[in-house]
Amino acid sequence: MGNKEDRNPSGLLFVASMFIGAGIGMLFGRVEVGGAIGMGVGFLLMAFIRTKTEPLEVKIPSTLSGYFLILLGLAFIIGGVGSIYFPDFIYSYGISIFVILLGLGFLVFGWKIIKK
């Protein structure tokens, strides 16, 4: 339980944000909205929180993976809020477009890793 690599809280922050969002969504009878917003916040936290230094620092990412996490987080937050006001559009078109873009993002990110 010793080295610094074991103490990376980004996964914990993501899961905690998702459950907190889902819990808040349950209070309002819209667990999917709260969960989506919580996931978005979790992705943003993963992008901005850096653990390479002591203490933790918040830093604007400068890597493709950091920008991908920011876009992913914003998409979940916008999709969650949008599903409150425009549920027909979000459920029929928004999610489909998002999933396609997400797949393309993973392809680009994977291609960058393979090329290294």
Query: What's the pLDDT tens digit per position in 9-46?
Result: 777 888 899 899 999 999 988 888 898 899 999 888 88
Question: Looking at residue 70, what is its pLDDT?
Answer: 84
pLDDT score, position 1: 44
Q: How far apart are CA 28 and CA 63, in angstroms?
A: 37
What was the pLDDT predicted at 49?
78
**pLDDT band at residue 116 using 50, 70 and 90 as cut-offs:** low
Task: Determine the pLDDT at residue 7.
Answer: 62
For the chain, how many structural domains are there in total? 1
**Distance between CA atoms of residues 36 and 108, nearest Å:** 23
Distances (CA, A) of 109 to 28, 65, 67, 80: 36, 7, 11, 24
Q: Where in the sequence is the domain holding 80, given as residue range(s)?
A: 4-115
What's the pLDDT score for residue 112?
67
What average pLDDT does the structure give for the chain? 79
Which tokens go with 112?
A: 């960058």
What percent of the chain is modeled with pLDDT above 90?
A: 8
Q: Is the confidence at residue 81, as pLDDT, over 80?
A: yes
